[in-house]
Amino acid sequence: MEKRVLNSIPVWLLLVLIGIGGSLGGCKKNPYPEGIQYLNDGKYWEATKYYQEKLKADPKNAVLENQLGYSYAKRGKFSDAEQHYKKAVELNPDYPEAYYNLGFLYMQGPQLKFDQAIQEFDQAIKARDDYAKAYSNRGVVEGYLGKFELARKDIEKAVSLEPDNKVFKENLDWLEQMEKVNKNFQEGNKAGGEKKAPPEPTPQVAPGATVKAPEAQPNK
């Protein structure tokens, strides 16, 4: 059974995960500029209809499946998004962005499937071993599960791949805060005193921007 740091998921975590972006990659030059424009403009319903129509003519196109899934995810239709992301990796088993999107979905979906998120980030990294954002997000999930050594290794890997990425460096600071909070929590329980949940992070250390992965930019 997985070791959990906390007995429940705090509200601030739910809010943080909503902000983590998906990825629209999959080809060097995206041949569907109209769909990308809909997504960039926040017209997610129009993007969904666009990709549905394109798939009718090209039903075995993994990129279309991934982007359709992304449009559903932005509309909060997580079950539909999951279905199309899975179809994308079925059509192209070496599609790192689609695996990443599945991992992201399991981080932010209503059930918070952290173990499955890690598995999908594993696959994304297997398909593309320099996928910095996948390392960072896998590290974040490991941090929430109390796997601090693995978390540090992954986030430090992300930093090594993108040394100028401010978010990845902030993730290391966030991880240190998680380690300290968890240590204090565990020591308080061992002392036999009143068992209190770790305090909510203050605005200065809350991972609202810290845990958030950089928003993925569509390939154009």
pLDDT tens for 26-74 read 545 667 899 999 999 999 999 999 999 999 999 999 999 999 999 999 9
Please count the other Cβ atoms lying within 10 Å of the Cβ belonging to residue 193.
9
**197 part of a folded domain:** yes
**2 part of a folded domain:** yes
**203 part of a folded domain:** yes
Q: Is 145 helix (H, G, I), strand (E, B) or coil?
A: coil
Number of structural domains, the chain? Answer: 1
For residue 88, pLDDT over 90 is answered with yes
**74 part of a folded domain:** no
For residue 176, pLDDT over 80 is answered with yes
**18 part of a folded domain:** yes
Give the torsion through C-alpha atoms of 127, 102, 156, 5, to 10 deg. Answer: -140
**DSSP class of 217:** P
Amino acid in position 198: P
Q: Give the domain extent around 163.
A: 1-22+135-220
- pLDDT for 74 equals 94
**27 part of a folded domain:** no
pTM as predicted: 0.77
**217 part of a folded domain:** yes
**210 part of a folded domain:** yes
Give the torsion through C-alpha atoms of 131, 132, 138, 142, to 10 deg. Answer: 150
Band of residue 194 on the pLDDT scale cut at 50, 70, 90: low
Q: Would you say 65 and 97 are in contact if contact means Cβ atoms under 8 Å apart? A: no
